[in-house]
Amino acid sequence: MKNFLEKYFHLSEAGTNIRTEILAGVTTFATMAYILIVQAGMMTDAGMNGTGVMLATALISGLATLAMGLYAKSPFALAPGIN
């Protein structure tokens, strides 16, 4: 597994390792969970269904982040913006 991750993402070339990437992933997950709650709360105040907003935000964020990581091989999480 370690060899596959190294080969696919070229971790050593980027100056990182699996432990650092897992820690970054956990930190990013906590941030994204916060965004889900805040966005759903704001949209509920605007009259939208909070559960639907949270589900839609989670699905779109998850798909976009997976695409960014697996296809583009870039370490960026993506979520809908709040204007």
Spatial distance between the Cα atoms of 16 and 41, rounded to a whole number of angstroms: 36
Residue 83 lies in a domain: no
Q: Is 68 in contact with 78 (CB distance < 8 Å)?
A: yes
On whether residue 20 sits in a domain, the answer given is yes
What is the predicted pLDDT for the residue at 79?
Answer: 86
Number of domains making up the chain: 1
Q: Does the residue 81 lie in any domain?
A: no
Domain for residue 77, yes or no?
no
Structural domain range at position 29: 2-71
pLDDT of residue 83: 63
Mean pLDDT by 10 residues, the chain (83 residues): 89 92 92 90 94 94 93 89 70
In a domain, 24, yes or no: yes
What's the angle, vertex CA 57, arms to CA 53 and CA 59, rounded to 5?
120
pTM exceeding the 0.85 threshold for the entire prediction: no
- Is residue 10 included in any domain, yes or no? yes
